[in-house]
Amino acid sequence: MFNFDLARMIYVLPGILLALTVHEFSHGYVAYMIGDSTAKNQGRLTLNPIAHIDPLGFLMLMFAGFGWAKPVPVNPYLFDIDRRKGTLMVSLAGPVSNIIMAILLTLLFGLFLRFTGNNNSVVQQLFVSSISINLVLAVFNLFPIPPLDGSKIVMSLFPSRFEQTFHELERYSFIILIALLFFGVISRILFPIVNVLFNMLMGLMFMIV
């Protein structure tokens, strides 16, 4: 499971830092825009990746391919709008921001190739890795498993009487998530979706080139 590959780390490090930072910042920014300044007060409303890195989660990402960032603190009771609607908006912000970032990186990649004619494999690999990592983070977080964003999205869409049930499931969330990862259940769903999205973006890029 653990694999030390220095070349791979050099390629994936920029993408990981970018994807995690944009993801967590977006959660905090949307929460701030609708009235919750908790993230801002704790210094998390920043694009400085250091503020969002969980040391253990970051090492797991680098060595094991699975990890986590430091969750942005959100207090839904401070929202200026309906609490459930606000939770939906904040939860969607992270995955949506990663998809937007993947699209922007694809456009930059296409423009870079078009105007420079650069065939530098290192630059290409950096772009491909960053695009892929953003897509993986977006799709992975949409799984409806606590504490992933998808679980909060589903909870916000279900009638309020189910909210307590979701909170009770959170007690077992880490065990459920690890089991699904260990037995490859998530991978069998995650990577086919990511591959489809990646191929769509590469098709967009070739239209530019």
Would you please indicate which residues are annotated as catalytic (active-site) residues? 24
- State the Cα–Cα distance between residues 73 and 89, nearest whole angstrom: 15
- Quick count: other Cβ atoms within 10 Å of Cβ 166? 17
Cα distances (Å, whole numbers) of residue 200 to 72, 97, 162, 186, 190: 31, 17, 36, 21, 16
Measure CA 164 to chain center. Answer: 26
Q: State how far the Cα of 49 lies from the Cα of 52, in Å rounded to an integer.
A: 5
φ/ψ of 155, rounded to 5, equals -60, -35
For the chain, what is the total number of helices (H) and then of strands (E)?
Answer: 9, 0
Q: What radius of gyration do the chain's Cα atoms show?
A: 18
